[in-house]
Chain A
Amino acid sequence: DADVTQTPRNRITKTGKRIMLECSQTKGHDRMYWYRQDPGLGLRLIYYSFDVKDINKGEISDGYSVSRQAQAKFSLSLESAIPNQTALYFCATSVDGQETQYFGPGTRLLVL
């Protein structure tokens, strides 16, 4: 079984709809991250969380919110989706004190 899972893997939604992307991990890592990947751009950090009570904005947090429901679960919400949020979204985890990040398989989101 995969250590970092994301649901759904693909999602099509309409402008203005609220959607949630979910990430779960069985690695026991404290730190979790949400990134988006766009063609021609590097991965960009949306939000990160170092534990359940610690959530921080990344470089492109506008239009997004997150919830850390448990050590193993980190959800990303788009309150009112817009077409330029069409992208590939990745969740990642890491261990406190180590730099290596472990990525999930991604969610491909299309906002019409």
Chain B
Amino acid sequence: EDQVTQSPEALRLQEGESSSLNCSYTVSGLRGLFWYRQDPGKGPEFLFTLYSAGEEKEKERLKATLTKKESFLHITAPKPEDSATYLCAVGEGGTYKYIFGTGTRLKVLA
């Protein structure tokens, strides 16, 4: 069965303390892996799309990487404004279906 698992469920970091979020997936043909950020009371906001193993994307303090079984979202020297829930989703090959993970709730303390 196709599925997406994110870990940890929640993460508390001190400002400046770098860490990584994990998204592991099982899917029949990967059409793309997506990272979104969701703030409380708002819709998910697109961050990155990765299509093939070895691909990396960066945006400010965030860097996303992809292997054949998982993706990591690395957060370097986070700031309190990086606090949010980070969602991972995969596009299933041969369909228009997206499978979302349950997210990692990140809290960065000043």
Task: Give the Cβ gap from B64 to chain A, nearest Cβ, in Å.
Answer: 14
Interface residues as binary, A1-45 with B (CB distance below 8 Å gives 1, 0 otherwise)? 000100000000000000000000000000000000000111111
The A contact surface, by secondary structure, is loop
Q: Which of B37-89 contact A (CB under 8 A)?
A: 41-46, 49, 87, 89
- B42/A105 in contact, CB under 8 A: yes
With contact pairs A99-B32, A99-B91, A106-B41 given, residues A42 and B46 touching in the complex (Cβ less than 8 Å): no
Interface residues on chain A, number (Cβ under 8 Å)? 22
In the complex, number of A-B residue pairs with CB atoms less than 8 Å apart: 50
A100 at the binding interface (Cβ < 8 Å): yes
Interchain CA distance A41-B103 in the complex, whole Å: 9
Q: Chain B, interface size: which category? A: 20 to 34
Interface residues as binary, A69-112 with B (CB distance below 8 Å gives 1, 0 otherwise)? 00000000000000000000010100000011111111000000
- A residues apposed to B, CB below 8 Å: 4, 40-45, 48, 50, 56, 58-59, 90, 92, 99-106
